[in-house]
Structure 1
Amino acid sequence: MIDFRYHLVSIVAIFLALTVGIVLGTTMLQDPLLNTLQSETSQLREQSEDLRAEKDVADQINAGDDQLVGAFAGEMLADQLTGARIVVVEAPGVDDELRAGLTSRIEQAGGTVPGRLSLTDKFLDPEQSAFVNELTDQLAEGVELPRGNAYERAGAELAQVLIAPEEDAEDEEPRDAPADGEDAEEREPALDPEAVLGGFAEGGLLTQHGDVAQRADLVLVLAPAEPFAAAAGEQAQGMEDDTAAPGNAAVLALTRAFDAAAGGAVLAGGTSSIEAGGLLAQARAEEAGFTTVDTAGSTSGDVVTVLALAITLQGRSGHYGIGEGVDNYLPDPLPQPTRPNDSPESDEDSGADPDADSE
């Protein structure tokens, strides 16, 4: 008959066997397992050190490249934007140093920045699109705007007051002044820049800096330092890309309007703008026809942005930088400098006959 003592001995034997098995198992497997883990850790540490060394070398080379570009920037940018007026339109969240660096390079190239517009979060809020559309209509003052969504129409209206029309480049008369012998009623009514810009400012949609109403030759649009927040919930419904940011769509609509009005526009940002959801990433995904630069904020990137402005004024466009879909790091061929004595008027003013043979 099996009694309690038998059960107790059996249980003790079982636990003793388990203990012996664990001891034997750990003793036999401990050294090989530890050796393998130590070897893999050592390899990973060596790889990490190699990558860190490569990064340090790359950083030093990049710093040297920036110093080299900075040393020759004056020669590279000389007369590239002579007499050109560039108005800056910036999205919320633009880096101050990026803006200041680009402004300095534009002036170094002979251009001027009469002023800039800072868009507000309210402007880009999709829930405010109806208000943007209504205000655009109120400020149109009888001027017919193209059809489209709120931001396309607002962009067309802003383009009319920011960009100098072609006839202003040839005549010194204001755009809304009738020419000799022309009935004022026959001319298409023009928008009042101060009224339009003031209306958008009072509506909390933008902020003016400088003399923005002084008509410009070209618009430089600046992307935010960090991508806009992606759409969520109801905002994403009906959008082609559920992860797209509503702010991107609004800024790109404005940029397309500036591009159409001026025959070109430039959208510039730092490398963060080509990350997932970035403004330039979306512009290139949509195969935008205006010029883009994704390295602004660095020494070489600022120089490339000014060269991009120069080719845009000369009727060319492209995508430059390091992101997907770029044509090159910088325009190729480079733009030709525009010097005052290269203009046709210089020959007339000097009294020289451009067709006369030199003796």
Structure 2
Amino acid sequence: MIDFRYHLVSIIAVFLALTVGIVLGTTMLQDPLLDTLRSETAELRGQTEDLRVERDTADRVNAGADQMAEALSADMLEGRLAGLEVVLVLSPGADAETADSLTSRVEQAGGSVAGRVEIAEELLDDDNTDFAGETARQVLADPDSLAGLDPYEKVGAAVGRALAAPEEDTGGAGIDEVDTDEAEEAEGEPDGFDAEAALAAFADGGLLTVDGSPAASADAAVVLAPAAGYSPSGDDRKAANTALAALVSSLHGELGGLVLAGDVPSARGDGLLALARAGEPGFATADLSGRPMGDVVAVLALAEDMDGAGGAYGIGDGVGGFLPDPLPGPREEPGGDDEDDGAAVKASDGPRDAARGEE
């Protein structure tokens, strides 16, 4: 049997050890530990302040860049889309104010917006995939031309053809010299394709919303990506944007020029611009829309794409620069004095070439 004094000595030893630990913790170890914590806290506060200053500086620089873009946009855009009809295509979740701003920039560049086509979220619903593809097949006079395309590529091809202005053999004449009777026949082509009826079929099926008179009118298109924070039905953002990327690519095949515009988040991860750029598209992309400078860049990118040189612009991954370089020059107005010079004049044919001639 263990003696009571043994228990007592053990208890005293335990409490003595605790006492020694407390004394050491509050005297010998306290000051170095507190000094370390104070030092680390001060360092973190300094880093936080540096980041705050950097953020505030970046905000002021961006605000200044937007202000400069507003001030110089008239000179930068003047004549870049002269005489062109542009259709605005809105993805589900696209920002309406950005669409209005892009419309203003197109008009500032000398173009006009014939109408808008809004892609309904129902078009991206898995349950409507076959219906959408079948609608595209039915509205085309030559459905065999869609062979091998997935449903969203079929929709893009059909909608693109319905939007595209008919190609006319003007024999060198300006657009305003083309027979007006031919222009009126554009909506119902000899091959049986009816542009207005095609758009109406998609609208009646709840797949598109059409505003204005975009049928058989578009020389080019501005496609606006979903805004940041938009989540499609089913929350499968990648699947929805993959479908949209296929649609836009096929749409571009039917039109003379196209720019896919979106905000910065759309150029990251599973965003529409990021997925489109991964496929190395033949159309232009711009990822700063929603800001004055970004909308100006989008229109410049479209003007460049009209000459077949579509690039990726903005600040996202895979861009070729912030904006086209050299800038596209003003387009000649249809029926102008120098008809033999072609429809477009590149900026590289201007001051830079003149400078070379002086050397």
How does the TM-score come out when normalised to structure 1?
A: 0.84
Q: Contact 1:229/1:245 (CA < 8 Å) preserved in 2?
A: no
Counterpart for residue 27 of structure 1: 27
Q: Any conservation in 1 of the 2:219–2:257 contact (CA below 8 Å)?
A: no
Q: How does 1:8-87 map to 2 (within 5 A)?
A: 8-87=8-87
Cα distance between partner residues in 2 of 1:282 and 1:163: 25
- 1:226 matched to 2:228: yes
Deviates more, 1:156-165 or 1:167-176: 167-176
Measure how far apart 1:303 and its partner are: 0.9
Tell me, yes or no, if structure 1 residue 209 matches structure 2 residue 211. Answer: yes
Residues 1-359 of structure 1 mapped to structure 2, 5 A cutoff: 2-141=2-141, 143-147=143-147, 148-167=149-168, 171-172=178-179, 173-174=181-182, 189-226=191-228, 245-340=238-333, 341-344=336-339
Q: Report if aligned partners of 2:132, 2:152 keep a CA contact under 8 Å in 1.
A: yes
Give deviations 1:165-222, integer Å, cap 9, x for gaps: 32277643447959xxxxx9xx961421221111111111111111122511011111
Alignment size in residue pairs: 330
Identity percentage over the alignment?
48
Distance 1:168 1:96 in 2: 37
Query: Separation in 1 of the partners of 2:24 and 2:143?
Result: 92
Residue aligning to 1:355:
none
Q: Partner of 2:117: helix, strand, or coil?
A: strand
Please give the per-residue CA displacement for 1:283-328, whole angstroms capped at 9, x wherever unaligned.
Answer: 1112112111111111111111111111122232111111111111
Asked if structure 1 preserves the Cα contact closer than 8 Å seen for 2:223 and 2:261, the reply is yes
CA distance in 2, matches of 1:252, 1:296: 17
Alignment-mate amino acid for residue 118 of structure 1: E
2-structure distance, mates of 1:177, 1:60: 53
> Which amino acid in structure 2 is aligned with residue 344 of structure 1?
E
Runs of 5+ unmatched residues, structure 1? 179-183, 236-243, 347-359
Cα 1:263–1:250, aligned 2, differ >3 Å: closer, same or farther? same
**What is the letter of the counterpart of residue 107 of structure 2?**
E
Compared with structure 1, are the counterparts of its residues 143 and 321 closer, same or farther at alpha carbon in structure 2 (3 Å cutoff)?
same
- Cα RMSD after superposing both structures: 2.7
**Cα pair distance change 1:294/1:193, threshold 3 Å:** same
- The 2-side partners of 1:302 and 1:145 are apart by 35
CA–CA separation in structure 1 for the residues paired with 2:65 and 2:210: 36
Conserved 8 A contact 2:259-2:284: yes
The letter of the residue matching 1:50 is D
Q: Is the 8 A contact 1:90 1:223 kept in 2?
A: yes
Instruction: Normalising by structure 2, report the TM-score.
Output: 0.84
Partner Cα separation in structure 2 for residue 232 and residue 206 of structure 1: 19
Q: For 1:282 and 1:219, how far apart are their aligned partners in 2? A: 19
**How far apart in 2 are the matches of 1:248 and 1:104?**
26
Confirm or deny: 8 A CA contact 1:136 1:153 kept in the other structure.
yes
For structure 2, the 5+ residue unaligned runs are: 342-359
Alpha-carbon separation, structure 2, partners of 1:232 and 1:80 = 41
Q: Helix, strand or coil: the match of 2:112?
A: coil
Offset of residue 109 of structure 1: 1.0
